[in-house]
Amino acid sequence: MSENNVVTACCLIIGNEVLSGRTKDANLGWLAERLTDMGIRMAEARVIPDVEDVIIDAVNEAREKYTYVFTTGGIGPTHDDITSFCVAKAFGVKIHRDPEAKALLESFIRPERVNEARLKMADVPVGSILIENPVSKAPGFQMENVYVMAGVPSIMRAMFDGLAQGLVGGKKMNSIAVASYLPEGAIAAPLSAIQDQYSNVEIGSYPFFRDGHFGCTLISRGTDMDELEIVAENVRQMIRDLDGEPIDEDMITPADAGTSKDY
């Protein structure tokens, strides 16, 4: 745990296919939500290609800088799956065929189909701890503060659910959302004044468009719920002062998020 009890994470999404646009990432948003719920702050996410040096550098930079590092992608049986190899190199250790992982795979794969490529999925860095894969057996692994998971969303999620109990979160970031049909440009100055007054609270403004009207949701985030309540009440009063009506709700939905055209 780092100072001030702020626990941070970095997510490394590994895969050429995400960078080419062919595959749309479905892991980042899910992980971000889960980590936030656990009091772990995702401080950065990177999408990087299946290139050895790039992966090694990103892993080493991230594991130094953040409490936890989560990687997704590149741990299958084909030649373009190089994540395990790269993580071993990042830590300066060798890859070995983990006996437990090998036994797991051999119990799952029909005997006539066991081959070198399939068993490659039991190759993990020396000193790593296996991460269970309840979906399809081939494990991920943990190497110090780096957690290596599959890219397939259903498998990644199952792996994360298993490893989550071993993570130590910091103080949970709470949030209070107050929306109104006032546009951002109308509230910007008084909102900034509130932000200046409460430096422990982070206030974000997110525009929306709903039922033919523009507005924005103001989200106050912080660890101290009492202070958050005070800030939220300030936000509500500001809205009333501008002849708006505060709504205690997040008015952004995936469908209308970011469609505001008014300021």
Residues 113-152 interacting with a second copy (rule: CB under 8 A) = 113, 115-118, 120-121, 135-136, 138, 151-152
Q: Which residues contact 128 (CB under 8 A, 6 or more apart)?
A: 98, 141, 142, 143, 148
Q: Which residues contact 162 (CB under 8 A, 6 or more apart)?
A: 131, 132, 134
Question: Near a second copy by CB under 8 A, which window of 84-92, 124-132, 178-186, 236-244?
Answer: 178-186
80 binds a second copy (CB under 8 A): yes
Instruction: Supply φ then ψ for residue 157, to 5 degrees.
Output: -65, -40
Nearer to a second copy, 92 or 112 (CB): 112
What does the chain come to in residues?
263
> At its nearest, how many Å lie between a second copy and the CB of residue 115?
6
Distance CA 163, CA 146 (A): 12
Nearer to a second copy, 36 or 145 (CB): 36
Structure-block tokens of residue 60 = 């080493």
C-alpha Rg value of the chain to the nearest Å:
22
Helix (H, G, I), strand (E, B) or coil at 18: helix
> At its nearest, how many Å lie between a second copy and the CB of residue 262?
7
Question: Near a second copy by CB under 8 A, which window of 16-24, 86-94, 161-169, 238-246?
Answer: 16-24
Binding residues among 158-177 for a second copy as defined by CB under 8 A: 173, 175
Binding residues among 212-251 for a second copy as defined by CB under 8 A: 219, 221, 250
Select from 7, 14, 38, 48 the one that contacts a second copy (CB under 8 A). 48
